[in-house]
Amino acid sequence: MTFELKTYAVYILASKPYGVLYTGFTGDLLPRVQQHKQEEYEGFTKRYFVKRLVYYELFEDPSAAIRREKQIKKWNREWKIKLIEKHNPEWLDLYDDDIGILPLPVE
Lateral strand order in the sheet of 52-59? 21-26, 8-14, 52-59
Whether 3 has a pLDDT exceeding 60, the answer reads no
pLDDT average, residue stretch 14-22: 97
pTM score, whole prediction = 0.92
Which pLDDT does position 2 carry in this prediction?
53
pLDDT average, residue stretch 13-19: 97
User: Quick check: is 90 in a domain?
Assistant: yes
Whether 5 has a pLDDT exceeding 80, the answer reads no
pLDDT one-digit tens code per residue, 74-86? 999 999 999 999 9
User: Quick check: is 33 in a domain?
Assistant: yes
**Residue 31: domain span:** 8-101
**With bands split at pLDDT 50, 70 and 90, how would you rate the model's confidence at 100?**
very high
Please state, as a whole number, how many other Cβ atoms lie within 10 Å of the Cβ of residue 22: 18
pLDDT average, residue stretch 61-67: 97
User: Quick check: is 107 in a domain?
Assistant: no
Burial class (CB in 10 A: 0-12, 13-18, 19+), 38: exposed
Which pLDDT does position 1 carry in this prediction?
47
Which pLDDT does position 45 carry in this prediction?
93
List the CATH number of the domain containing 76: 3.40.1440.10
User: Quick check: is 106 in a domain?
Assistant: no
pLDDT average, residue stretch 78-107: 95
* Mean per-residue pLDDT of the chain: 94
User: Quick check: is 78 in a domain?
Assistant: yes
Total structural domains in the chain?
1
Q: How far is 49 from 75, CA to CA, in rounded Å? A: 22
User: Quick check: is 2 in a domain?
Assistant: no
